Amino acid sequence: MGEIFRQDIKRRELLVTDAKRSKAISDPIRTAIIQILSEKEGSIADINEELKKQDINIAPTTVRHHVDILKKAGLIQLTRLVDSRGGVLKYYASKVKVIQHKAPENFDEVLGRAQAEASKDMLGIIRKMLKGHKSEIMQVVKSLKACPYCSDEHFKEYVLVELLNRAIAEVIQKKEFIELLEVTENEDKTA
């Protein structure tokens, strides 16, 4: 029997998550709540008001339900409690930023060289991390619990990707990163 079709797949992106988080972000309302809370902290009433601006009209009790699911998944956290008319008002913020976009079809064609350069630089960063922090990395790798589908190699990949992911998340919040984006945007407007 001859092969009729074959298509090689090249991994273009990584999605680092677990089942609880995947389930939590599978609901578009919860994803909207994460987006809202990644911009600023908010109470249930604040979140509900922001959802209404997005034409999502749900009861505050439903917002509270979604917030509880996101909290249990470790995606948002309680940031402060405020006395309010004999009760306590809870404020939440997102621990993650969900960036929802689909890359255009010509992404690789247009940005292939930039990606190749970044890949080379990333290898250097990973080498540096392993050289300077191998024992700590391996300590975390060994602390992870195996599942029937994983090997220790996946644990190493996970820890390294998680390190890079957290480093990128930290960088995009820095003033210098935001200024770089603004400079690039201003250059585009004057060109």
Does 48 fall in a domain? yes
Specify the CATH number for the domain of residue 35: 1.10.10.10
Q: What is the tens place of the pLDDT at every residue in 58-86?
A: 999 999 999 999 999 999 999 999 988 88
- Averaged pLDDT for residues 87-100: 88
In a domain, 10, yes or no: no
Whether 162 is covered by a domain: the verdict is yes
- Quote the number of domains for the chain: 2
Instruction: Look up the domain containing 45 and give its range.
Output: 19-94
Last residue of a domain, one of 38, 68, 94: 94
Among 50, 75, 94, the domain boundary falls at 94
Residue 86 vs residues 82, 83, 89: alpha-carbon distances, Å: 10, 7, 10
* DSSP annotation of 3: -
- Taking the C-alpha atoms of residue 58 and residue 141, their distance in angstroms, rounded to an integer, is 42
Q: Is residue 151 scored above 90 in pLDDT?
A: no
How does residue 147 score in pLDDT terms, banded at 50, 70 and 90?
A: low
Helix axes 60-72, 44-53, angle to 10 degrees: 110
Q: Is residue 8 part of a domain?
A: no
144 falls within a domain: yes
The 10s digit of each residue's pLDDT in 105-124 is: 999 899 999 999 999 999 99
Long-range own/partner contacts, residues 125-128 (CB < 8 A, 24 or more apart): 125/164, 126/160, 126/164
